[in-house]
Amino acid sequence: MTIALTSTNVIRRAPLEEISQAHSHPFHQIVIGLEGEAEIIIDGRPLHISPFHGCTIPGDREHCYRGIGNNSQLLLDLFDDAPGLSGAYRHHFQLFSQPLHFELDSAACAYLTFMVEEITHQPDVDRDLLITTLLSILSHRLLDRQATPQSRLDLVMLDHYIEQHLARGIRVEDLAGLAHLSSAHFTELFRIRTGLPPYQYILRKRLNAARKLLLESRLPLIDIAERSGFANQSALSHAFRRHFGHAPGALRQTAGS
Check residue 8 and give its pLDDT.
Answer: 52
Check residue 7 and give its pLDDT.
Answer: 41
Amino acid letter, 254: T
Measured between alpha carbons, how far is residue 24 from residues 112, 214, 245 in Å? 26, 30, 39
Check residue 257 and give its pLDDT.
Answer: 60
Check residue 3 and give its pLDDT.
Answer: 36
Decide if pLDDT at 185 tops 90.
Answer: no
Strand partners, 2: 12
Read off the pLDDT of residues 205-245 as tens digits, 9 standing for 90 and up.
Answer: 999 999 999 999 999 999 999 999 999 999 999 999 998 88
Read off the pLDDT of residues 52-79 as tens digits, 9 standing for 90 and up.
Answer: 999 999 988 899 998 988 999 999 999 9
Q: What's the mean pLDDT in 93-99?
A: 87
Check residue 120 and give its pLDDT.
Answer: 92
Give pTM, 2 decimals.
0.56
Decide if pLDDT at 1 tops 80.
Answer: no
Residues 77/9, Cβ–Cβ less than 8 Å: yes
Q: How far apart are CA 133 and CA 143, in angstroms?
A: 15
Angle at CA 110, nearest 5°, toward 108 and 116?
100
Check residue 84 and give its pLDDT.
Answer: 92
Check residue 152 and give its pLDDT.
Answer: 64
pLDDT band at 4 (very low <50, low <70, confident <90, very high): very low
Read off the pLDDT of residues 107-158 as tens digits, 9 standing for 90 and up.
Answer: 999 999 999 999 999 989 999 999 999 999 999 888 765 555 555 678 888 9
Which region, left, alpha or beta, applies to residue 137 given φ > 0 means left and ψ of -120 to 50 means alpha?
alpha
Q: How far apart are CA 221 and CA 238, in angstroms?
A: 12
Q: What's the mean pLDDT in 195-207?
A: 90
Backbone angles phi, psi at 25, to 5 degrees: -150, 155
pLDDT band at 256 (very low <50, low <70, confident <90, very high): low
Q: How many CB atoms lie within 10 A of CB 57?
A: 24
Check residue 149 and give its pLDDT.
Answer: 56
